[in-house]
């Protein structure tokens, strides 16, 4: 697999995560505005499914990022000691049950 293929895989994974995040936003807005308990149960079920999809997409993205190595230092690159380490999971607020009413 070439570096271009790996970068394409990363782009696809980011795009998938973005779509899932947008769907989360839509469902959370719907959940806040609905009064029907049955509807809330259905929306919460959808949120749980999206949560699993997001975890899988995030794991795939991290795997793809781990496969890429940069052989030449980029101009203006921040030394490793000063670099900010990103969170492994981007759904911590969802894991805390924020969406449950």
Most distant pair of Cα atoms in the chain: their distance: 57
Assign 4 a pLDDT band (cuts: 50, 70, 90): confident
CB 47 within 8 A of CB 27: yes
Q: Considering only CA atoms, which of 44, 67, 56 is closest in space to residue 16? A: 56
pTM: 0.63
Q: Is 16 exposed, middle or buried (0-12, 13-18, 19+ CB in 10 A)?
A: middle
The 3-class secondary structure across 77-91, one letter per residue, is CCCHHHCCCCCCCCC
**What pLDDT score was predicted for residue 96?**
54
Residue where the block lists tokens 């029907």: 36
Q: What are the tens digits of pLDDT across the range 52-90? A: 999 998 998 888 888 887 666 666 666 666 555 555 555
28-41 average pLDDT score: 91
Contact 64, 96 (CB under 8 A): no
């Amino acid at each position: 697999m070439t570096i271009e293929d790996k970068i394409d895989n990363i782009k696809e994974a980011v795009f998938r995560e973005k779509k899932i995040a947008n769907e989360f936003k839509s469902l959370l807005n719907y959940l806040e505005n609905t009064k029907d308990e049955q509807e809330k149960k259905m929306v919460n079920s959808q949120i749980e499914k999206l949560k699993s999809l997001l975890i899988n997409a995030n794991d795939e993205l991290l795997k793809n990022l781990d496969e890429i190595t940069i052989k030449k230092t980029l101009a203006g690159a921040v030394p490793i000691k000063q670099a900010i380490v990103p969170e492994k999971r981007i759904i911590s607020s969802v894991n805390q049950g924020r969406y449950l009413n």
